[in-house]
Structure 1
Amino acid sequence: MHRIDTKTAQKDKFGAGKNGFTRGNPQTGTPATDLDDDYFDMLQEELCSVVEASGASLEKGRHDQLLTALRALLLSRKNPFGDIKSDGTVKTALENLGLGETINKASGAMQKSANGADISDVSAFRNALQLGTAATRDVGADNASKLLDLDSFRSMMPGNGYIYIPCIATTGNPVKLMLQWGTVATQKGADAGYALPFAFPYAGLFATGNRGTSGYNAAMNVRIASRTHISIQNWSPSGEGTEDCCFIALGY
């Protein structure tokens, strides 16, 4: 393509090296710009090439072929990207744009709003995080498959105290062992029952203890009497006053 370059072209009309046309001026002796075959051949082929590039053949009677060709060759703003479907597959287009892998990953990506509900294989995902089977278990002490937390180990430590230890019986039922301890003032030379600081919910299993004060070295026998009492036999000689017995009792 070229600008008019005949001898009568107006030099640098549109800037340095950019010739233009002039109608001439008879009063000043300036001739009008002459046209030549080179210039018109150039115009013809430039315009015809656009039409033919669109796949159309030139038709002498039509005056809209250039516009039609441009519409065929350029993307329409009315239907963004919709008019390039005929160029090939979407897969090919994405590959040409270098977006194939990116689009494929995006189409299978997890959605934030689903909060993990769109994970297709939860088990495989859990294994990838190395969570194991513990991640599928609830917290609690009422079932052998549940996980224990510190809330299951209730206790009271100062003075006479206790602690609950959750476990599962051979029957599969949940059981809370209760271990308690304390000090009881016992009668000298007597075998008597004494109330536990805390009653066992169901039954007492075992109790032991011994003298909690200095003095006689006689033993004290401690045993379970009921879920609310223990029996203590103080082997010291009978007499006035009491002697402390420190005990530990187990029940449930």
Structure 2
Amino acid sequence: MGSATRESLAAAEARLSAAPSVTRQTGEQLLASGRVIEGSTQLRSVLSDPEAGRKGELVRTIFHSLDATASELLADMAGSRWSSTEQFLDAVEEIGIRAIARASGDDGTIEAELFSFAKAVGSNAELELALGSKLGDPQRRVDLVERLLVGRASEATVILMRYIVQNPRGRRIGELISHVADIVAHDADAIVVSLTAATEPTPAQLDRLRLSLAARYGRTPRFDVTVDPELVGGLRVQVGDEVIDGSISNRLADLRLRLAG
């Protein structure tokens, strides 16, 4: 991420925090606007031109049907400097997702539902292909998401999954679900922790780990737990790109390497 993007994204986050009224509709409208911009070569060209003046006013004119908060956020972002058009679109996506999470008063429910759905998709090749294929009508993917989730998941999760299958932008569905969960957690000053254990961790184990990770990272952990008996025992913890592997299987592998050496 370039310095211009970091500064502009931080400013957009601050404006979202200061907005007097943020609803799920605000987030949905931002995400929909991002899809329109991505699909228009002319719009992308104008918004990526550092010399193009009055970009904010242009966005207000084109997206005149947005609610007041979405309109101001999008116009301000369009008028800011970005390192690339892709990073501008990433930022619109992130602010839209944050708006939905914030309006929903997320307490970890959205991430838990996203984790659960990601596991269901990852364990079913046919479902993964149906939701992740770049071919076919995106509306059919939306219809499938609604059949699977409406009435079983929160409205915010359904909205986010609709967006994910409509607008993958070249990303695999599992990767995109994880990305969205990270943004939702970050907005609540939390972190997503991928936790793999040989057996289901006890509440006491999770509490101890939560305290330890909160002290280490300065954020509240939200766990995505996977049970893998092949670990034999212990835990494997992943936060972003950092992996802490305390599993017995890993220790045995290390021991075998030492003995072989």
TM value normalised by structure 1:
0.16
| More strand by percentage | 1
Larger Rg: 1
TM value normalised by structure 2:
0.16
Using CA pairs below 8 Å that are at least 6 residues apart, which structure has the higher relative contact order?
2
